[in-house]
């Protein structure tokens, strides 16, 4: 009986983790499904659809290098979601926040707990791993 009580929380935690997979691996799979057509399978720009666009999808492996070596997490999340895009940002890229980005997880930002969609977080994690 004792072992059952011990195992229950572990099983529950495993369930929750499966549901909210914010790992870079999960993000990589999401990238191949939603972004690779434009940004390329390796995120270096010019995927099959991307090459047809007037505004070429940029190389996403140099985001950190272009930002003094610091991966611009907040900018990346804002661009993917669509809540933080400049006036001249190409309308070719869909605003993924308008669709279903999945349930949110609480992320600490500037000392404040902010809810961030799990898929948005996973995509951002993966992009950080492909920086040059
Ligand atoms: C239909 C084509 C298309 C799809 C699909 C697409 N993008 Fe884009 N993306 C673009 C274009 C075009 C730009 C350049 C926009 C601009 O600067 O005007 C861009 C820009 C970006 C930028 C900003 C890069 C920079 O240098 O500032 C990020 C980050 C990005 N995309 C991530 C993603 C992610 C992650 C996905 C998938 C969830 C995705 N994109 C899907 C076309 C696309």
114 CA distance to ligand 1 middle (Å): 24
16 CA distance to ligand 1 middle (Å): 30
Tens digit of each residue's pLDDT (9 = 90 or more) over 6-48: 555 554 554 454 568 899 999 999 999 999 999 999 999 877 7
Name the closest-CA residue to atom 41, ligand 1.
35
CA dihedral sign of residues 125, 127, 130, 132? negative
Name the closest-CA residue to atom 1, ligand 1.
93
Residue with tokens 């995120």: 43
Q: Is the CB of 122 under 6 A from ligand 1?
A: no
116 in Cβ contact with 102 (< 8 Å): no
pLDDT number for residue 38: 92
Closest ligand 1 atom to Cα of 63: 26
The percent of residues in the chain predicted with pLDDT above 90, rounded, is 47
Cβ-based neighbours of 3, under 8 Å, separated by 6 or more = none
């Amino acid at each position: 009986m004792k072992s059952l009580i011990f195992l229950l929380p572990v099983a529950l935690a495993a369930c929750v983790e499966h549901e909210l997979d914010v790992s870079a691996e999960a993000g990589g799979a999401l990238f191949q499904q939603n972004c690779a057509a434009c940004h390329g399978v390796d995120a270096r720009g010019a995927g099959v659809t991307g090459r047809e666009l007037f505004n070429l999808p940029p190389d996403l492996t140099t985001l950190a290098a272009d930002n003094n070596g610091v991966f611009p997490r907040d900018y990346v999340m804002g661009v993917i979601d669509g809540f933080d895009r400049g006036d001249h940002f190409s309308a070719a890229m869909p605003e993924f926040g308008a669709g279903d980005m999945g349930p949110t997880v609480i992320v600490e930002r500037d000392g404040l707990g902010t809810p961030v969609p799990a898929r948005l977080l996973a995509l951002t994690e993966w992009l950080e791993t492909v920086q040059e």
